Amino acid sequence: MRRAVLALTVVLMAVPAWAEHPSEDGAPEGRFHLIHDMGEVLTFTWGGAQTAFALPTLTYLLPTAAVVGGSSFADGQVQAHFKGHDAHDGLARAGEISSYLYYGPVQAGIYMAGELSDDPKLSATGKKALASLLGTQSIIQPLKYLTRRRRPDGSNRQSFPSAGAGAASAIIPAVYHEYGLVPATVTAVSAAFIGFSRIYGNQHHLSDVLAGYAIGVGWGILVETYERHQSRWALVPMSDGRTMAGLALHLRFD
């Protein structure tokens, strides 16, 4: 299923590149525009990582870690309410399927819509959402194998943190920054549903889901912070419009 999701993401990202500005001999110049945008996504991702080492990040990190750690004491009580449910229950399946959409298709779809409608704001939202997803999963996936926490249903030891909750929540800061509270609230409700469904189906503990939310929202905030302070470096494709020669690293000193 996840392979199909990744394939769908690639298709969604490629559509605008081949849909715009075809050259006379059929070589679509838009493909290099796509490469440029992917360079921006990587710039946002690594920019978020750089921002993570700034002192203000601790004002978010320390209280969040305390909340996640404290919630772990309630894991047993919360899970007792959902005893007997499993991943095949209707609600659990709906949440799992919904979470797959946040592993790239939703973010790529926003980018695609922005490119095809010539809406830079929408396109930028998609790029920042993709960057937040990459950063979030670069933290969550290693943590799963380092912590090796057993899932409530005992199926494996990849419970902490919740990757689905992280993926769904990583998009919230970009949506809030570009479009305001109401669209961000809708996105947050979707993320909350996914997190609840994972607990309901005994796939995750409460603290797993809260940790996923914290990492997802946190990386989204880092990306937004990085963008507001402007980029001191960027990856830019070197191209004559038809052939890409490589990537150039642009640095800004001031």
Cα 160 to Cα 174: distance, rounded to the nearest angstrom: 25
For the residues 102-112, what does the mean pLDDT come to?
94
What pLDDT does 235 receive? 52
**Model's pTM, two decimal places?**
0.83
pLDDT at 220 over 90: yes
Check the CA dihedral 185-13-46-122 and report its sign: negative
**Top-confidence residue, 4 or 181:** 181
Paired tokens of 68: 């996640």
What pLDDT does 51 receive? 85
DSSP label at residue 28: B
Cα 118 to Cα 43: distance, rounded to the nearest angstrom: 22
Paired tokens of 17: 């590149």
Cα 31 to Cα 232: distance, rounded to the nearest angstrom: 25
156-177 pLDDT, tens digit each: 999 999 999 999 999 999 999 9
**SS3 state of residue 240:** coil
8-66 pLDDT, tens digit each: 565 555 555 444 444 444 434 455 577 888 889 988 998 888 888 777 777 888 899 99
The Cβ of residue 215 has, within 10 Å, a number of other Cβ atoms equal to: 27
3-state SS, one letter per residue, for 204-218: CCHHHHHHHHHHHHH
Angle at 38 between CA 222 and CA 42, to 5 degrees: 35
Average pLDDT, the chain: 84
CA 71, distance to chain mean position in Å, is: 23
Cα separation values, 66 from 133, 150, 157, 180, Å? 23, 21, 23, 28
Reported as a pLDDT band with limits 50, 70 and 90, residue 7 is low
What pLDDT does 253 receive? 46
What pLDDT does 53 receive? 76
Contact in structure between 214 and 165 (CB atoms under 8 Å): no
Domains present along the chain, CATH in parentheses: 2-251 (1.20.144)
Residue type, 187: T
